[in-house]
C-alpha cells in the first residue's frame, strides 16, 4: 500500500495521469493518503457556493420544507429536540462553517425561538448577508470575522465536518470553549488512536475529489479530547458517522484505529 499511497498523492496537471489516478482511487476505494506537509495550504478548500446557488436552495426549500443540500448529520434536528425539549425555549446556535442556507431555514422551521449564528469564508458570509436582506430572514446573524464569534454565548456550537480543514483550529476551539454555554458538536471528523511521535494530528490529501487538491487533518483522539476535558467538558456520545463509509485500509495499522466520527461534548 505504501507505493499506492505515494502514487495517489502524486500531484500533476497531466490529463492522462489524472485519469489513471482516478481509476486507481475508484478500484481501491481510497479517500485519503498520508503526506509529509506540516501546514494546510492557503485557500485549501475552495467553495463552489454562490448567491444564485443559494437562491435556488431557498426556492427548493419553499417547495419541500425540507433540507435540500447534503448534511453530514441528518439526525441533528432529532438530537436538538432531545437536548432542548421545550419547543418555546430560546437558544443560540453557532454553525461554524455553515455553507448552505437551507440548514438555517430547516432549523427555523423546527425551532421557532432559535437564534442562528453562522461563520464561514468571506464569500459565503456575503451571500448569507444578501439572502438575509433580500428575504427578510429573522434571527440569523452572520459573523463576518473570527473575532465576532466572541461577542456572543452559544447553547450549541456545531462544527459540521469542517474543523479538519481549518489551519488555526486550536484558536477556533479555544474560542468555542470560551463562548460555549453547554454543547459543542463535531460531525464527520477523522480521528486516529495511535500515539505517533507525540503528534497531535497528521495532514492527509483527500483524493476522492481529484484533480482538486484538498488537504485535511486527522486528529489524535485523546489529544483532541484533552483540549475539552481540561476545560471540564465530557463526552455525551461518540459514534461512527452514519453518512460516510470511509475506507482507511491503505493506512494499515500505522495510525491504529481510524474513525469517521460524530462527537457531542457538554459541560
Instruction: Tell me which residue range forms the domain holding 207.
Output: 37-266
The domain tally of the chain equals 1
- Return the residue matching grid coordinates 432549523: 107
Give the mean model confidence (pLDDT) for residues 41-55: 82
Give the mean model confidence (pLDDT) for residues 154-168: 96
Model confidence at 27, in pLDDT bands (50, 70, 90)? very low
Kindly report the CATH number assigned to the domain that includes residue 216: 3.40.50.150
In a domain, 6, yes or no: no
The predicted model scores a pTM of 0.89
In a domain, 13, yes or no: no
C-alpha dist (Å) from residue 160 to 43, 77, 186, 187, 220: 19, 13, 6, 5, 18
Distance (Å, rounded) from C-alpha 140 to C-alpha 145? 15
In a domain, 194, yes or no: yes
In a domain, 4, yes or no: no
pLDDT at 208 over 90: no
- Length, in residues, of the chain: 267
In a domain, 114, yes or no: yes
In a domain, 32, yes or no: no
C-alpha dist (Å) from residue 234 to 175, 231, 239, 250: 17, 9, 14, 32
pLDDT at 9 over 90: no
Among the ranges 13-22, 24-33, 124-133, which has the highest mean pLDDT value? 124-133
In a domain, 42, yes or no: yes
In a domain, 153, yes or no: yes
Instruction: Please state, rounded to an integer, the average pLDDT across all residues of the chain.
Output: 88
Distance between alpha carbon 90 and the CA centroid of its chain, in Å?
A: 25
Q: Among 27-36, 83-92, 118-127, which is the least confidently predicted range?
A: 27-36
pLDDT at 223 over 90: yes
Amino acid at each position: 500500500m505504501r507505493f499506492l499511497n505515494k502514487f495517489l498523492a502524486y500531484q500533476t496537471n497531466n490529463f492522462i495521469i489524472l485519469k489513471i489516478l482516478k481509476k486507481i482511487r475508484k478500484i481501491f476505494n481510497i479517500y485519503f493518503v498520508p503526506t509529509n506537509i506540516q501546514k494546510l495550504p492557503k485557500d485549501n478548500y475552495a467553495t463552489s457556493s454562490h448567491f444564485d446557488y443559494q437562491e435556488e436552495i431557498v426556492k427548493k426549500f419553499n417547495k419541500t420544507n425540507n433540507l435540500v443540500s447534503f448534511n453530514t448529520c441528518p439526525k441533528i434536528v432529532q438530537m436538538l429536540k432531545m437536548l432542548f425539549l421545550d419547543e418555546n425555549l430560546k437558544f443560540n446556535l453557532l454553525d461554524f462553517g455553515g455553507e448552505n442556507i437551507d440548514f438555517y431555514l430547516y432549523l427555523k422551521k423546527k425551532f421557532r425561538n432559535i437564534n442562528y449564528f453562522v461563520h464561514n469564508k468571506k464569500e459565503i458570509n456575503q451571500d448569507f448577508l444578501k439572502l438575509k436582506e433580500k428575504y427578510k430572514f429573522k434571527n440569523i446573524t452572520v459573523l463576518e470575522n473570527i473575532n465576532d464569534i466572541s461577542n456572543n454565548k452559544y447553547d450549541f456550537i456545531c462544527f459540521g465536518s469542517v474543523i479538519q480543514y481549518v489551519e488555526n483550529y486550536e484558536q477556533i476551539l479555544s474560542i468555542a470553549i470560551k463562548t460555549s454555554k453547554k454543547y459543542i458538536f463535531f460531525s464527520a471528523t477523522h480521528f486516529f488512536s495511535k500515539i505517533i511521535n507525540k503528534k497531535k494530528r497528521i495532514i492527509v490529501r483527500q483524493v476522492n475529489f481529484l484533480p482538486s487538491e484538498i488537504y485535511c487533518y486527522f486528529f489524535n483522539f485523546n489529544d483532541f479530547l484533552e483540549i475539552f476535558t481540561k476545560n471540564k467538558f465530557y463526552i455525551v456520545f461518540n459514534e461512527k458517522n452514519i453518512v460516510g463509509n470511509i475506507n482507511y485500509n491503505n493506512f494499515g495499522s500505522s495510525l491504529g484505529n481510524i474513525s469517521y466520527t460524530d462527537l457531542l461534548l457538554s459541560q
